Amino acid sequence: MIPVATFDTLDEAITLANDCEYGLTSSIYTQNLNLAMKLISRLKFGETYVNRENFEAMQGYHAGWRKSGIGGADGKHGLAEYLQTQVVYLQFGDAL
């Protein structure tokens, strides 16, 4: 079984989707790319799939919002939490 909720407007659908304490994954099915981009910006979920089933890329950043997910501590992005970075700006040569 899957949960199904009805709505009258897209604003109501977004409100219903965001009205929970979890926010791991959301999905949008549409042929209108502009509409998809607007909805993505309003959904409060760590991952949003557009026109596809939930299959994540292992090299991607995975993080849920609110009480969901592992905070992006997997993959190459999780490794950055254990590194200390340093930035150097260097002018070399006759410019001095």
Query: Looking at residue 44, which CATH number applies to its domain?
Result: 3.40.309.10
pLDDT of residue 72: 58
Q: Domain of 74? A: 10-81
Q: Against a cut of 0.85, is the pTM above it?
A: no
Assigned domain for 1 exists? no
pLDDT of residue 20: 87
pLDDT of residue 21: 86
Assigned domain for 87 exists? no
**What's the structural domain count of the chain?**
1
Give the residues of the chain that fall short of pLDDT 70. 54-65, 67-78, 80-81, 85-92, 95-96
pLDDT of residue 92: 65
Distance CA 38, CA 75 (A): 28
Assigned domain for 95 exists? no
Phi, psi of 32 (to 5 degrees): -100, 100
Assigned domain for 47 exists? yes
Strands (E), 1-96: 22-23, 25-28, 47-50, 65-66
Distance CA 5, CA 27 (A): 14
Assigned domain for 86 exists? no
Assigned domain for 68 exists? yes
pLDDT of residue 51: 87
Assigned domain for 3 exists? no
Are residues 79 and 61 in contact, defined by beta-carbon separation less than 8 angstroms? no
72 phi-psi bin (left φ>0, alpha ψ -120 to 50, beta other)? left
